[in-house]
Amino acid sequence: MLHLQRTRWWLTLLLFLPLLLQAADPLPSWRDGPSRQAIEAFVAAVTTQGGKDYVPEAERVAVFDNDGTLWSEQPLYFEVLFALDEVKRLAPQHPEWASQQPFKAVLEGDQKALSDSGMDGILKIVAATHAGVSTEAFIANTQRWLATAKHPRSHKPYTEMVFQPMLELLQYLRANGFRTYIVSGGEVAFMRAFAQEVYGVPPEQVIGTTLDARFIDDNGKLSIERLPKLLHNDDGPGKPVSIDARIGRRPIFAFGNSDGDLQMLQWTMAGSGKRFAGLVHHTDAVREWAYDRNSQVGRLDKALDAARTANWTVVDMAQEWQRIYPFDNNPPQ
């Protein structure tokens, strides 16, 4: 009887040991490499009371880009894919789009004509699909799309195309007294539609590109109407400006993945005391995508050179991430 009890005890231990080990490891999707070691060393240094690099909790501000840093951004930024789908959904209300570019190109699936329309064309599409409605209506439109749309390659919901290692990092920082912010070139209301549920980042800690807006009082029915006018482009040098305006503290920890994040990383590292700057380098062509200097989406060129010169942390996705997405059930060893 005693032998049987011992056998059951060992079987129970073996069954739950992997779960116990994972619970003890706050970053299970990060391999034991230079990036993980740099992150853990930094967090230990700034959270050890009495240490020379100790930072009070109120000053532990961490900022993250979104596209390409917290979730994938290929083959196009997900918000652009949303806007293209919105053109198709709204087309019955706009018969004129059948003969107007770039809407005609979207409706006909003419990739060349859409590409030829350039950034001006994308801005017209964004203005038509992001403005003219209340903030609540736009967020509802975004959430409806996220609930049904699937990524063209993985056929997974876009909210599952998030990076498991970065989800763990966000939680790890919060568990160590950090406030985590998203600072992205994406439109702010679009990201607020899912940031709390997916990243654990509340809407007041989401900073992004903003459209102009106006207060509407329609016989007592109050709303904020979004206008087709760019108020702030939260990309490149726009990121430090919005951090200064919205947070009021210089971050001590920043993560990005492209040249659009360079100034945010520089601004973070220019402060006094111990600081951390990191880049996600997309090097995994099998599990995700491999791209950097020549990519039309998420180009990483000047920021990569700056990181190597300044000895910032550059995460080699293929080598340092045990798992990329939450749905990777059998990650390579």
What is the mean pLDDT of the segment spanning 7-17? Answer: 48
CATH of domain 28-75+160-320: 3.40.50.1000
What is the mean pLDDT of the segment spanning 308-319? Answer: 98
Q: Is the pTM of this model over 0.85?
A: yes
**Cβ atoms of 291 and 68 closer than 8 Å:** no
CA pair distance 5, 22, nearest whole angstrom: 26
Cβ-proximal residues to 216 (8 Å cutoff; 6+ apart), any chain: 134, 222, 223, 224, 225
Model pLDDT for residues 144-190, shown as the tens digit of each residue? 999 999 999 999 999 999 999 999 999 999 999 999 999 999 999 99
| pLDDT higher than threshold 60 for residue 97 | yes
What is the mean pLDDT of the segment spanning 286-291? Answer: 98
Helix (H, G, I), strand (E, B) or coil at 222: strand
Rg (CA), the chain: 22
Q: 5 vs 260, which has greater pLDDT?
A: 260
Out of 13-22, 52-61, 142-151, which region has the weakest mean confidence (pLDDT)?
Answer: 13-22
pLDDT given for residue 9 in this prediction: 52
pLDDT given for residue 156 in this prediction: 98
What six digits make up the tokens of 148?
A: 């049904």
| pLDDT higher than threshold 50 for residue 40 | yes
pLDDT given for residue 6 in this prediction: 52
**Domain edges within the chain:** 28-75+160-320
H-helix or E-strand spanning residue 184: strand 179-187
Helix (H, G, I), strand (E, B) or coil at 279: strand
pLDDT given for residue 23 in this prediction: 56
> What are the helix (H) ranges across the chain?
2-24, 34-47, 78-90, 103-108, 111-116, 118-130, 135-148, 164-175, 188-192, 195-199, 238-246, 262-269, 302-310, 317-320
Cβ-proximal residues to 181 (8 Å cutoff; 6+ apart), any chain: 61, 62, 63, 64, 201, 205, 206, 207, 243, 247, 251
| pLDDT higher than threshold 90 for residue 47 | yes
Read off the pLDDT band of 313 (50, 70, 90): very high
Q: 54 vs 24, which has greater pLDDT?
A: 54
